[in-house]
C-alpha cells in the first residue's frame, strides 16, 4: 500500500488566489478585434485571393492540370494576345479553392499569383471568378 502524502492545505487561500487572478485579468486589455472597424495586422506571407495578369498568360493550362480539386478550369476569352493564341484563360471557383498555391508555383510566366486580399464575401450565390474578374480589384468585381 502506497501512501500518498497530500499537501497541507490552508482553507480559503486557494480561493483568494483564484480571486486575485480573476481580478488581475480585469486589468488586462481585451483581446477581441472588432473586425469590420478594426483590422488585425496580417502576417506578411498571408495569401488568399488569386489574381491573374491576362497580358502575361500564355494559356498553357498547367494551372488547371496542377489544381488538386478542379477549382481552376480554362475558358476561352475573345482577346487579342499574340502570346496566347488558343485564347485560354483560367477561371477560378473560390468555393472550392484551398489556397494550396500550386498554380502560382507552376505558372511559367508568373501570370497567376495570390495576394493578401481576403475580403471576398459577396451577396451573390456564386464564388466563381471569370478571367476578366480575376484581373480586377475586389471592389470592382463586387460592382
Partner 1 sequence: MNILNRIQSILSPLGHLPSYAGAYIIETIIVLIFSVTVIAGMVYFFRKYMARVQNRIGPNRVGKFGVLQVMADGLKLMQKESIFPDGRDDLPYKLAPIIVFMGLILAFIMVPYSNLYWFGSLTITHSNVGIILIFAVLAIMPIGEILAGISSNNKYAMLGALRAVAKDISFEVPMMLSILAIIMISSANTFQPLNLQNIVSVQSIPFGILEPIGLFIFFVSMIARASYSPFDMGESDSELVTGDTTEYGGLRFGMFYMGLFGTIFLGSMLVSVLYLGGGSGPFESSIGFVWFMVKTIILVIISLTVWLSMPRVRIDKFVNFGWKILLPLSFINLVITGIIILSGIGGIA
The residue range among 18-26, 61-69, 108-116, 124-132 that interacts with partner 1, by the rule CB under 8 A, is: 18-26
- DSSP letter string, the chain: -PPPPPPP--TTHHHHHHHHHHHHHHHSPP----TTTS-PPPPTT----EEE-TTT-----HHHHH-TTS-EEEEE-----TT-TT-EEEEEETTT-----HHHHH-TT--EEE-S------SSS--EE-HHHHTS-HHHHH-
CB of 141 to partner 1, least distance (A): 30
The residue range among 17-25, 61-69, 104-112, 119-127 that interacts with partner 1, by the rule CB under 8 A, is: 17-25
The residue range among 30-38, 40-48, 98-106, 127-135 that interacts with partner 1, by the rule CB under 8 A, is: 30-38
28 binds partner 1 (CB under 8 A): yes
User: Up-side HSE of residue 86: CA atoms within 13 Å toward CB?
Assistant: 10
25 vs 143, beta carbon nearer partner 1: 25
Please identify which residue in 21, 123, 125, 126 interacts with partner 1, judged by CB under 8 A.
Answer: 21
23 binds partner 1 (CB under 8 A): yes
Residues near partner 1 (CB under 8 A): 15, 18-19, 21-23, 25-26, 28-32, 34
Amino acid at each position: 500500500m502506497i501512501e500518498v502524502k497530500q499537501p497541507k492545505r490552508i482553507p480559503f487561500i486557494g480561493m483568494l488566489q483564484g480571486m486575485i487572478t480573476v481580478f488581475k485579468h480585469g486589468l488586462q486589455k481585451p483581446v477581441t478585434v472588432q473586425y469590420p472597424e478594426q483590422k488585425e495586422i496580417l502576417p506578411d506571407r498571408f495569401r488568399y485571393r488569386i489574381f491573374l495578369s491576362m497580358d502575361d498568360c500564355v494559356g498553357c493550362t498547367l494551372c488547371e492540370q496542377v489544381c488538386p480539386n478542379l477549382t481552376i478550369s480554362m475558358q476561352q476569352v475573345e482577346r487579342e494576345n499574340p502570346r496566347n493564341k488558343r485564347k485560354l484563360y483560367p477561371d477560378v471557383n473560390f468555393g472550392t479553392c484551398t489556397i494550396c498555391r500550386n498554380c502560382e508555383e507552376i505558372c511559367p510566366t508568373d501570370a497567376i499569383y495570390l495576394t493578401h486580399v481576403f475580403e471576398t464575401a459577396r451577396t451573390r450565390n456564386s464564388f466563381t471568378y471569370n478571367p476578366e474578374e480575376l484581373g480586377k480589384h475586389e471592389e470592382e468585381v463586387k460592382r
